[in-house]
Structure 1
């Protein structure tokens, strides 16, 4: 290989250094030198980079979801006999309670009906008692009126002469004759009966005895 020449290189370097120094002295004496830079040519329009078609990638199918972990089999627990017995007992108690409540409701409804019937019966008894009192009062009034009528007839026949009264009594019906003679005083009735026909006098005497016997038995 050729060995580089050091001397010319050193000379060139010294010349360059001298030129630089000289330029510095000139700048100090005459001012800064105006360096007119050559006009640069207009920058060419930027060239758009070529778009290199990207290779079409095949779409990968979506990954399947992760498999669910296997479920553990549920162990079948045998029912507790004690629990079943308690449930059966509770059901029986509930049914018994419902039956008792239904009976109580029916008894309450029947009691209400009986009370209503008793109130109606009490009102009916009161009405009947009031009606009976009215009837008894009417009966007493009627009896009093009848008694007043009989007493008037008795006074009329007592005021008559015995023979005249006997003539009338011979033709009277037996029930009427008995009622009149029964209300007459003994001293007034004896002369009248003595003046009557013997057969009529005998019949009225027997009927008067039976009438008084029935009245005594009724009292």
Structure 2
């Protein structure tokens, strides 16, 4: 029996290597025949006809006159500084006016307190004078006092008689004329007419 001979593999042609080599050759040929790359750009534009258009990146606009812009900014800064100085001046004036107002208000309060004290002293002095006069009229002879009360203003006479002791007031009223005594009595009674009873 003879041994079987192993089968020999058939050599395949190197197709993949040939394909890659062909691509490199075509690329080199394309570069030699179209050094500016216009064919490649045309092919790329044909492939992108259905897609969205690609916009070129926006470029920053250059200022034509940078010195003018700087001058405008400086003028604006000057205006803001002037406005701030004006506001500061107004605040100072308001502070001065407020201080003067407080000073005048304090002076007015002090004057008011002094006036109230003076009026209180004057009222006390007037009250003391009236009390002294009441005692003088009470100590006078009723006939002489009645003559004085006849010439007095009715309201004034009623004020004195209302402060006197009853006996002295009765004697003076008795020495006055009937009309005068009635008028004085009516004034004294009218002072208490508006006083609540309950």
* TM-score (structure 2 length as normaliser): 0.53
Inter-partner Cα distance in structure 2 for 1:106 and 1:81: 38
Inter-partner Cα distance in structure 2 for 1:197 and 1:154: 21
How many equivalent pairs are there?
136
Instruction: Report the 3-state secondary structure (helix = DSSP H, G, I; strand = E; otherwise coil) of the residue aligned with 2:118.
Output: helix
What is the 5 A alignment of 1:175-194? Answer: 176-185=156-165, 189-194=169-174
Task: Look up the match of 1:170.
Answer: 150
> Could you tell me how far 1:174 is from its partner in structure 2?
3.5
1:131 aligns to 2:80 (yes or no) = no
- Contact kept, 8 Å, 2:155 with 2:184, in 1: the verdict is no
Select 1:97's aligned residue among 77, 96, 114.
77
C-alpha change, 1:92 and 1:158, in structure 2 (3 Å) is same
* TM-score (structure 1 length as normaliser): 0.49
Unaligned runs of 5+ in 2: 1-59
Task: Look up the match of 1:63.
Answer: none
> Could you tell me how far 1:105 is from its partner in structure 2?
0.8
C-alpha change, 1:85 and 1:188, in structure 2 (3 Å) is farther
Residue deviations 1:27-83 (CA, integer Å, cap 9, x gap)? xxxxxxxxxxxxxxxxxxxxxxxxxxxxxxxxxxxxxxxxxxxxxxxxxxxxx9532
Aligned CA RMSD, in angstroms, stands at 3.5
What is the 5 A alignment of 1:1-219? Answer: 82-84=62-64, 90-160=70-140, 162=142, 165-174=145-154, 176-185=156-165, 189-208=169-188
Inter-partner Cα distance in structure 2 for 1:94 and 1:196: 98
More helix per residue: 2
C-alpha change, 1:148 and 1:96, in structure 2 (3 Å) is same
Inter-partner Cα distance in structure 2 for 1:119 and 1:194: 66
C-alpha change, 1:90 and 1:113, in structure 2 (3 Å) is same
> Could you tell me how far 1:162 is from its partner in structure 2?
4.9
Inter-partner Cα distance in structure 2 for 1:206 and 1:90: 95
Inter-partner Cα distance in structure 2 for 1:190 and 1:117: 65
Larger radius of gyration: 1
- Contact kept, 8 Å, 2:154 with 2:184, in 1: the verdict is yes
